[in-house]
């Protein structure tokens, strides 16, 4: 049985984790094997890289170093977690994937899409999500939610300007890849967002 790879994208505070968990519960209720993961992270080596990436003490990190570290974490994650799960026929739900690198590093940090895609090519090994949900939330609202939730990490400390660039980038990517990326208004209630996601998953999983 072929697995299914679904990713959740958006700025911090958009509600990705909540919606992933709700979708997992609903799929599991239908006896589907579901794996939840996240980026950067998802396995021990990648989680160690995550600590370096998000540590506020590392504000001097260059954009290129940042992009390379995200790609390194992704490479291990794909190799150790995602591909084996898909080969088992599992549904993999992942908080962030390549689209995050494109939004944050290619456009937010200004590295350009060509460079970020080339950096990530060996990490991806040809893997692409079957379906992606972009939880769209204004940059200011996203920052307010994040600040209420926990102490800001290194990327959140970059401020509103980065978040605005990232939001614009996500919108552009969603428009360009509308067959894969489903845009969801993250300002709606949790229940309405979940139902929107669930209907899209049902359409995608027909015959799975």
- We report the CATH number of the domain holding residue 119 as 3.40.50.300
pLDDT the model gives residue 140: 65
Is it the case that residue 208 has pLDDT exceeding 60? no
Is it the case that residue 44 has pLDDT exceeding 90? yes
The tally of domains found in the chain comes to 1
pLDDT the model gives residue 160: 82
Q: In the beta sheet, which residues pair with residue 180? A: none
Is it the case that residue 155 has pLDDT exceeding 90? no
Range of the domain at 155: 4-205
Q: What is the pLDDT of residues 63-96, one digit of tens each?
A: 999 999 999 999 999 999 999 999 999 999 999 9
Instruction: Compute the Cα dihedral for 43, 151, 102, 94 and give only its sign.
Output: positive
């Amino acid at each position: 049985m072929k697995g299914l790879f679904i990713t959740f994208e958006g700025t911090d505070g958009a509600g990705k984790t909540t919606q992933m968990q709700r979708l997992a519960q609903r799929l599991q209720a239908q006896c589907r094997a579901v794996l939840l993961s996240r980026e950067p992270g998802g396995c021990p080596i990648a989680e160690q890289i995550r600590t370096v990436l998000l540590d506020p003490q590392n504000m001097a990190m260059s954009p290129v170093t940042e992009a390379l570290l995200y790609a390194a974490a992704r490479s291990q994650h794909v190799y150790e977690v995602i591909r084996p799960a898909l080969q088992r026929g599992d549904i993999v739900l992942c908080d962030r994937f390549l689209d995050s690198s494109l939004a944050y590093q290619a456009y937010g940090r200004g590295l350009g899409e060509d460079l970020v895609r080339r950096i990530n090519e060996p990490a991806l090994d040809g893997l692409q999500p079957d379906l992606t949900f972009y939880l769209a939330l204004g940059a200011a609202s996203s920052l307010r939610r994040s600040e209420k939730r926990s102490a800001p990490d290194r990327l959140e400390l970059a401020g509103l300007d980065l978040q605005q660039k990232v939001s614009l980038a996500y919108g552009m990517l969603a428009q360009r890849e509308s067959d894969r990326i489903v845009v969801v208004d993250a300002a709606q209630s949790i229940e309405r967002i979940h139902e929107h996601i669930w209907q899209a998953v049902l359409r995608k999983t027909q015959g799975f």
